[in-house]
């Protein structure tokens, strides 16, 4: 065992915020390390310097976390709680996260590179919002009595699925954890949450608050670890009943294969290449503003990014000129701790290189590449300037593949039918947006786009009360809203004989 002092370290953010950072695996309400399983260093994407090293779970750590979750599932301290009492614990956690807003926002920005203004105004408050929303459902999710005639009675019970492995990505560490913890805890499950190795710090801090909120040991276990080791061990673990995954489509497919071993329940939220369609009659200011936000926010690291802009012939040139000018004005690159910054660095050097390789391949194949901020990229940090690929052909890789960076393709179309055909000619089906003043056309497009979510005259709205998820290779199942509960309970049917 490492010394207890290695389980935490003192950190200070550039804005002066100081905190004690947990570094271990959070299992059974304790931070622990497993001898021989090593650690992973997390890097500040703005300074490119190491922040600290965090314990990484290997197979033994995963086994221990799953065993803790299994014990907790049937322990009376959790199993015997009413939904109302579970809801109270969740509400308490939401309040504790709110009390720690400054610290958690600083951690999220330090570890992920997203602007502090965004971490403060969205990521941290959203965690509490999601927990509260699902706390409200905890005692409002009853089964049914089914009328089967006078001599029998039948009813259903909604029961926890069991031990849930939850694997989250690095683009929204707190938010993605909340989307998974909220419905799981609401329904009485226990959890092993695997953090993304690039951004483990905020949820390890929250783990301490989970204990403080009064959750019994083992109900929520939080582990860092590499995807190939800890993620794979969880997805294939025989004592896990469900796996919920958010990440790339390629990894999602692997997770699905691994989950097949013991027929785990599964929800997947994977990649996208979502279209945003601008018709001639659209409000051009709105279209430009949302097109920018829809692909440039969060450094373009958003699965629902509307990264394929399809613009009708009549307004194409005007749109492209305005979109470039708006991007040049709005996408201010800089220190994520600086209030003026709109776009921070990409999360890691690997991500930066990946995005840059798409830009290079587009250039090589003759695509027009526009980078308004190219002259203002900070001298350090994993930055990629906002990039607009104009007049892009539907066969090019930047049009078809998810880049996961601040990169938009713009292509022209003639008719509504043509636009719809291009929208749907994708293996992905996460989201889509349509800009038009024609009400009937807006609803036709919303109905016919092959997507889990459609925005009309907007992009990337997300609301805890509204289901989120994709079709085709963008995912299986839904998160958020009442729909988000479905993946976290089993329905048991009980038949009662009433004859004497």
Question: For residue 261, which of 284, 282, 235 has the smallest C-alpha distance?
Answer: 235
Number of residues that bind ligand ADP (CB under 6 A): 16
169 in contact with ligand ADP (CB under 6 A)? yes
Q: Sign (positive/negative) of CA torsion 237, 238, 239, 242?
A: positive
431: part of which helix (H) or strand (E)? strand 431-435
Q: By the 8 A CB rule, do 346 and 355 touch?
A: yes
In the complex, minimum distance from the CB of residue 193 to ligand ADP, in angstroms, rounded to a whole number: 10
Q: Which stretch, 46-54, 230-238, 325-333, 355-363, contacts ligand ADP (CB under 6 A)?
A: 230-238
167 in contact with ligand ADP (CB under 6 A)? yes
Helices (H), 30-123: 59-74, 76-79, 83-99, 101-112, 116-118
Length of the chain: 500
CA distance 62 to 421: 45
Among 33, 44, 254, 331, binds ligand ADP (CB under 6 A): 254
Q: Which residues contact 329 (CB under 8 A, 6 or more apart)?
A: none
268 in contact with ligand ADP (CB under 6 A)? no
231 in contact with ligand ADP (CB under 6 A)? yes
Among 9, 91, 159, 248, binds ligand ADP (CB under 6 A): 248
Q: By the 8 A CB rule, do 331 and 406 touch?
A: yes
251 in contact with ligand ADP (CB under 6 A)? yes
123 in contact with ligand ADP (CB under 6 A)? no
> Which residue number, 237 or 322, has a Cβ lying nearer to ligand ADP?
237
Label each residue of 118-139 as H, E or C: HHHHHHHHHHHHHHHHHHHHCC
**What would you report as the CA-atom Rg of the chain, rounded to the nearest whole angstrom?**
23
Among 110, 185, 219, 235, binds ligand ADP (CB under 6 A): 235
DSSP for residue 468 = B
163: part of which helix (H) or strand (E)? strand 163-167
CA dihedral 350, 345, 301, 123 (to 10 degrees): 130
End-to-end CA distance of the chain: 64
Measure CA 28 to chain center: 25
Binding mask 457-476 for ligand ADP (x = CB under 6 A): --------------------
Q: Which stretch, 67-75, 163-171, 310-318, 426-434, contacts ligand ADP (CB under 6 A)?
A: 163-171
Among 108, 197, 473, 479, binds ligand ADP (CB under 6 A): 197
228 in contact with ligand ADP (CB under 6 A)? yes
300 in contact with ligand ADP (CB under 6 A)? no
Q: In a 3-state reduction of DSSP, which class is residue 360?
A: helix
In the complex, minimum distance from the CB of residue 267 to ligand ADP, in angstroms, rounded to a whole number: 14
Among 113, 182, 227, 386, binds ligand ADP (CB under 6 A): 227
Known catalytic membership, residue 10: no
Question: For residue 309, which of 438, 221, 223, 408 has the smallest C-alpha distance?
Answer: 408
* Residues in 3-62 that interact with ligand ADP by CB under 6 A: none
Q: Which stretch, 69-77, 143-151, 166-174, 375-383, contacts ligand ADP (CB under 6 A)?
A: 166-174
Binding mask 304-323 for ligand ADP (x = CB under 6 A): --------------------
CA distance 329 to 472: 36
CA distance 268 to 270: 6
CA distance 34 to 52: 18
Q: Which stretch, 124-132, 165-173, 181-189, 215-223, contacts ligand ADP (CB under 6 A)?
A: 165-173
Which entry of 269, 293, 402, 416 is annotated as an active-site residue? 269
DSSP for residue 34 = -
In the complex, minimum distance from the CB of residue 216 to ligand ADP, in angstroms, rounded to a whole number: 26
232 in contact with ligand ADP (CB under 6 A)? yes
> Which residue number, 7 or 302, has a Cβ lying nearer to ligand ADP?
302
> Which residue number, 225 or 381, has a Cβ lying nearer to ligand ADP?
225
91 in contact with ligand ADP (CB under 6 A)? no
> Which residue number, 188 or 200, has a Cβ lying nearer to ligand ADP?
200
255 in contact with ligand ADP (CB under 6 A)? yes
Question: What angle (nearest 5°) sits at the alpha carbon of residue 148, between those of residues 143 and 154?
Answer: 35
Q: Which stretch, 180-188, 251-259, 272-280, 446-454, contacts ligand ADP (CB under 6 A)?
A: 251-259
Q: Which residue is nearest to ligand ADP (CB)?
A: 227
224 in contact with ligand ADP (CB under 6 A)? no
Residue 64 corresponds to which tokens in the numbers above? 């221990």
CA distance 456 to 327: 21
CA distance 155 to 23: 46
Q: Which stretch, 26-34, 131-139, 249-257, 465-473, contacts ligand ADP (CB under 6 A)?
A: 249-257
The catalytic site residues sit at 269
Residues that bind ligand ADP (CB under 6 A): 167-169, 194, 196-197, 227-228, 231-232, 235, 247-248, 251, 254-255
């Amino acid at each position: 065992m490492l010394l207890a002092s290695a389980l935490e370290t003192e950190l200070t953010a550039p804005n002066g915020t100081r905190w004690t950072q947990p570094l271990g695996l959070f299992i059974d309400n304790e931070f622990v390390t497993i001898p021989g399983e090593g650690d992973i260093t997390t890097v500040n994407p703005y300074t490119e310097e190491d922040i600290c090293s965090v314990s990484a779970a290997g197979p033994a750590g995963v086994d221990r976390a799953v065993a803790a979750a299994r014990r907790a599932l049937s322990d009376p301290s959790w199993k015997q709680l009413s939904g109302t009492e579970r809801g109270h614990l969740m509400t308490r956690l939401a309040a504790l996260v709110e009390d720690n807003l400054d610290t958690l926002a600083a951690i999220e920005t330090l570890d992920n590179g997203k602007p502090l203004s965004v971490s403060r105004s969205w990521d941290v408050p959203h965690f509490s919002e999601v927990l509260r929303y699902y706390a409200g459902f905890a005692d409002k999710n009853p089964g049914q009595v089914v009328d089967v005639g006078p001599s029998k009675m039948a009813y259903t019970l909604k029961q926890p699925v069991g031990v849930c492995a939850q694997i989250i990505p690095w683009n929204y560490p707190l938010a993605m954890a909340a989307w998974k913890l909220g419905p799981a805890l609401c329904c009485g499950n226990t959890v092993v949450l695997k953090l993304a190795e690039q951004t483990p710090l905020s949820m390890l801090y929250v783990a301490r608050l989970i204990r403080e909120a009064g959750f019994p040991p083992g109900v929520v276990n939080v582990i860092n670890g590499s995807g190939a080791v800890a993620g794979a061990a969880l997805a294939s673990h025989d004592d896990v009943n469900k796996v919920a995954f958010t990440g790339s489509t390629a990894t999602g497919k692997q997770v699905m294969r691994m989950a097949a071993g013991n027929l785990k329940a599964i929800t997947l939220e994977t990649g996208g290449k979502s279209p945003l369609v601008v018709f001639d009659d659209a409000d051009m200011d709105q279209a430009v503003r949302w097109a920018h936000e829809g692909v440039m926010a969060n450094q373009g690291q958003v699965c629902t990014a509307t990264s394929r802009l399809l613009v009708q012939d009549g307004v194409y040139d005007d749109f492209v000129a305005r979109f470039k000018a708006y991007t040049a004005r709005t996408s201010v690159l800089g220190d994520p701790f600086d209030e003026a910054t709109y776009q921070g660095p990409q999360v890691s050097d690997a991500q930066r290189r990946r995005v840059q390789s798409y830009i290079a391949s587009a250039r090589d194949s003759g695509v027009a590449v526009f980078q308004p901020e190219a002259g203002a990229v900070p001298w350090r940090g994993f930055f990629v300037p906002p990039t607009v690929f104009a007049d892009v052909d539907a066969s090019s890789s930047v049009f078809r593949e998810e880049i996961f960076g601040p990169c938009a393709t713009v292509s022209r179309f003639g008719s509504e039918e043509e636009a719809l055909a291009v929208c749907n000619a994708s293996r992905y089906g996460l989201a889509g947006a349509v800009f038009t003043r024609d009400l009937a056309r807006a609803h036709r497009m919303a109905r016919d786009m092959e997507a889990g979510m459609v925005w009309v005259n907007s992009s990337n709205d997300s609301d805890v009360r509204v289901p989120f998820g994709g079709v085709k290779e963008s995912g299986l199942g839904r998160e958020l809203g009442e729909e988000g509960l479905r993946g976290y309970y089993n329905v048991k049917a009980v038949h009662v004989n009433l004859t004497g």
